[in-house]
Structure 1
Amino acid sequence: MIDLLGPPGRGRAAWLMALSVLALACAAAHAAPARYSATALSSGNSMAYGLNARGDVSLAADDVGGGTAGWVKGVLIPVPMGSGSRVSSDGRVGVLVDNGDGRQRPGLFDLRTGDVTVVGPPHTLPPIVRDANRQGVAVGYASEAPPNAEVFSGGSELELGQGSVNAINSQGEVAGTLWHTDPLSGDDQWWAFSAAPGSTVIQWIAPISSGLSNEAVAMDSQRVVGVSDVNAGSGSVAFYHHLRNGLTVPLAGLGGSGAGALGVNTHGAIVGWAATPGDADYRAVLWTGRNQVHDLNQLSDVPAGWLLYEAVDINPKGQIVANGADAAGNPKAFLLTPVSGAQAPATVSRPRLSPRMLCEQLRPWVRLPGTKTPAACRWMRGR
């Protein structure tokens, strides 16, 4: 993928002027995306959260009583007291650890050994882990009112403000969403942000449309991706932010009034969801360029009558975890693996479905009475 935001150190103005030229160049050089074989991750209802480079998946599954689990080489591993986090590069997921006095501490559960590491102090309300890196640093939020965005490490925590930290990379940089006063409109909104390792200095990622809100969902060593409001009533756009030069650009959708980016790999490939024209339904999508968006239903051998409605993560090998539904509307999590020489999938009838909204899964704003719910969430909840 051509990085449309440019390498670190390039001037912002020069890259803004060159965006149209780069888009044309990218389109000319663009190769057809891979085809994928689809593997169901459970026999019952399931929902995926994340994927690492080894192919480990974090998910919720009826096979383990509806609780959280890990999928490692085809085996489902129950995760007691799991918090529904992504899975770190070394195969650890977020859990709650009983402190013995009615309080709970954030921890990490190793999918291969079953070992649990406590990463933060005790809380009266359950602290939630959303992501972790190989160094054992976890991020999420403490469930106080208002909720506090937290970085958990070595049994202690670093508070960054009202909101949630949703992603951490191998360098320890973090990204998420905080309650912030828009410097132009003066309104309080949810704004995406990034921060350096161990720092409380916030680098704001402004929404695509001034005066509205946005949410950072995932990151790698160079990029942050998420969803941004595009008007005050309804609609959203997926965005891509470069950590080094500070540029933020929107990603093309499928013709509907909403899209959101949920995962990014080290090669710059991005996955998420997008609404179809007329907002008839939602599709899991892959972006291989700013304006190259691909419906994964058209690239995968999902069974006839089934639908992939959101892709939540992608690893460096190009594997993707996606959530979908069978012909009866039951939720299913899939691992999509690139293959060569795959035949086109059978025709899929697509029921009208709402995606599992990232607003509900990742954000704590419902705990803030009187605050503004981002337009993207209002629109999605109404579907």
Structure 2
Amino acid sequence: MRQPARCLPGLLLSAACLPALAAAPAQAPAKAPRYTITTILAGQFDHVEATGINNRGDVVGGTYVSGQEWRGYLFADGRTAQLGSLGGLYTRVQAINDARQIVGESKTLDGISHAVLFSGATVTNLTPWALRDSGASGLNGAGSAVGAIPCDCLDFHAARFVGGGVSDLGTLGGESSNAAGINSAGQIVGWAALAGPYTPRAFLYENGTMRDLGTLGGEWSDAAAINDAGHIAGSSSLEGGGEHAFLYVNGVMSDLGALSGMGSAARGMNNRGQVVGLSYQGWDVNEAMLWEGGAVRNLNSLIDPASGWHLNDAGAINDLGQIAASGCHEGLGVCGMLRLDPANMLPVPEPATWAMLLAGLALAGVRSRR
């Protein structure tokens, strides 16, 4: 990822530096930007991610600072708030539904990560019995969550969490599996290992059966999201090496393509069939991506270049076309969680002022991993 110059030394981004965001170069774009940018959280982090967005425009994600732990955040009603934990210092969140239920994982005081569900001020441990790490990655509108739980083996299995109960979804014959997404019909996707040498494959779980979705010619694949039509987005290795995002519709896995470079990966999709993710352009250099209608689009070409932001990853997209993304500001030397709003959509709630958003937050430098 591109490393912007720092605006200020130290850990906190002061209010004196914030006006520089608005004072980006005044060069006009060649054409009107398709998306405007709402900054949710920005600072000097070792890693920052925006992982989920609902149809209200609420965004969840997190930050990591070397020597500390992951912190989870919710952006709603124009404000960004840090989420709680199960007693430890680690919280990482992955998905949010329209009821503002949020799933992820959080550590207890004994240092074990547990799958959690946030609902209002309540944090529910979905695996209080677990003596090893578990986590939740996906959530549907009814509050059914999916993720992974420790199994009787030395690894973990894909799981579904419903009404206080947990179901082990099994594997494709190997030792491990993980569920990443669930739609309104209860169809579940993720990856599971085949029997024999470790080989993960994208799966669809429905009617009590886990099905291998195949690959784009390589050995492995991984499903990241499923919409209410049963369309699936994910990533797969290619026959000649590398990996590309895929879209799986009616039994056929199609290569979504990538920009020139190392490959691409899909992170999320909506009920309109739009898919978001990233394209790997080189070591630590990524471009946030949008795939729609057969087109491969670099999201950086769809925003105003005068904003100063470079978008590195897009983690989720809602049915209004709003995108949860992460990126770096070239001038200020910060990275952040961002929301991309279609320029022609109805107004959405404005964020609180920068000072309100960032006051008291420890900020640390910006390097995003793949």
TM-score range, shorter chain: 0.7 to 0.9
Residue 193 (structure 1) aligned with residue 200 (structure 2): no
TM-score by length of 1: 0.70
How far 1:297 moved relative to its partner? 0.6
Residue 131 (structure 1) aligned with residue 163 (structure 2): no
Match of 2:259 among 246, 254, 257: 254
Superposition pairs of residues 276-355 of structure 1, within 5 angstroms: 276=281, 281-290=285-294, 292-301=295-304, 303=306, 305-327=308-330, 330-340=334-344
1:163 is matched with 177
**Secondary structure of 2:273's match?**
coil
Residue 228 (structure 1) aligned with residue 236 (structure 2): yes
Deviation per residue, 1:193-234 (Å, 9 max, x gap): 01116x2x1111101115x101111111121101100147x4
The alignment covers a number of residue pairs equal to 301
Indicate how the Cα distance of structure 1 residues 62 and 213 shifts in structure 2: closer, same or farther if over 3 A, else same. Answer: closer
Indicate how the Cα distance of structure 1 residues 74 and 143 shifts in structure 2: closer, same or farther if over 3 A, else same. Answer: farther
Indicate how the Cα distance of structure 1 residues 121 and 150 shifts in structure 2: closer, same or farther if over 3 A, else same. Answer: farther
Is this contact kept in 2: 1:121–1:155, CA < 8 A?
Answer: no
CA distance in 2, matches of 1:62, 1:227: 25
Indicate how the Cα distance of structure 1 residues 354 and 117 shifts in structure 2: closer, same or farther if over 3 A, else same. Answer: closer
Indicate how the Cα distance of structure 1 residues 101 and 226 shifts in structure 2: closer, same or farther if over 3 A, else same. Answer: closer
Match of 2:155 among 134, 143, 146: 146
2:34 is matched with 35
Deviation per residue, 1:98-136 (Å, 9 max, x gap): 8999977533112xx323345445201231111112222
Is this contact kept in 1: 2:216–2:255, CA < 8 A?
Answer: yes
Is this contact kept in 2: 1:105–1:122, CA < 8 A?
Answer: no
Between 253-262 and 74-83, report the one with greater CA deviation.
Answer: 74-83
How far 1:97 moved relative to its partner? 7.4
For 2:292, give the aligned amino acid: T
In terms of fraction of residues, the more helix-rich structure is 1
For 1:87, give the aligned amino acid: I
How far 1:355 moved relative to its partner? 5.0
Between 136-145 and 84-93, report the one with greater CA deviation.
Answer: 136-145
CA distance in 1, matches of 2:83, 2:126: 16
Structure 2 unmatched runs, 5+: 1-30, 86-90, 346-365
Indicate how the Cα distance of structure 1 residues 335 and 96 shifts in structure 2: closer, same or farther if over 3 A, else same. Answer: closer
1:272 is matched with 277
Indicate how the Cα distance of structure 1 residues 117 and 151 shifts in structure 2: closer, same or farther if over 3 A, else same. Answer: same
CA distance in 2, matches of 1:288, 1:80: 36
1:106 is matched with 115
How far 1:169 moved relative to its partner? 0.9
**Secondary structure of 1:86's match?**
strand
Higher relative contact order (CA 8 A, sep 6+): 2
CA distance in 2, matches of 1:125, 1:239: 32
2:4 is matched with none
1:203 is matched with 211
Is this contact kept in 1: 2:284–2:369, CA < 8 A?
Answer: no
CA distance in 1, matches of 2:108, 2:93: 20
Between 159-168 and 322-331, report the one with greater CA deviation.
Answer: 322-331
Structure 1 unmatched runs, 5+: 1-31, 342-352, 358-383
**Secondary structure of 2:121's match?**
coil
Between 151-160 and 100-109, report the one with greater CA deviation.
Answer: 100-109
Indicate how the Cα distance of structure 1 residues 259 and 128 shifts in structure 2: closer, same or farther if over 3 A, else same. Answer: same
1:363 is matched with none
Between 221-230 and 94-103, report the one with greater CA deviation.
Answer: 94-103
TM-score by length of 2: 0.72
CA distance in 2, matches of 1:102, 1:286: 37
2:13 is matched with none
Is this contact kept in 1: 2:316–2:324, CA < 8 A?
Answer: yes
Is this contact kept in 1: 2:192–2:201, CA < 8 A?
Answer: yes
CA distance in 2, matches of 1:154, 1:103: 22
Root-mean-square deviation (CA), in Å?
Answer: 3.2
Deviation per residue, 1:38-93 (Å, 9 max, x gap): 11111424421111111111111489x96101110221122112332111232111
CA distance in 1, matches of 2:109, 2:312: 41
**Secondary structure of 2:260's match?**
coil
Is this contact kept in 2: 1:83–1:129, CA < 8 A?
Answer: no
Is this contact kept in 1: 2:92–2:106, CA < 8 A?
Answer: no
Is this contact kept in 1: 2:49–2:63, CA < 8 A?
Answer: yes
For 1:224, give the aligned amino acid: I
**Secondary structure of 2:300's match?**
helix
Indicate how the Cα distance of structure 1 residues 34 and 300 shifts in structure 2: closer, same or farther if over 3 A, else same. Answer: closer
What is the aligned-residue identity percentage?
Answer: 27
2:369 is matched with 356
Deviation per residue, 1:340-372 (Å, 9 max, x gap): 49xxxxxxxxxxx98533xxxxxxxxxxxxxxx
In terms of fraction of residues, the more strand-rich structure is 2
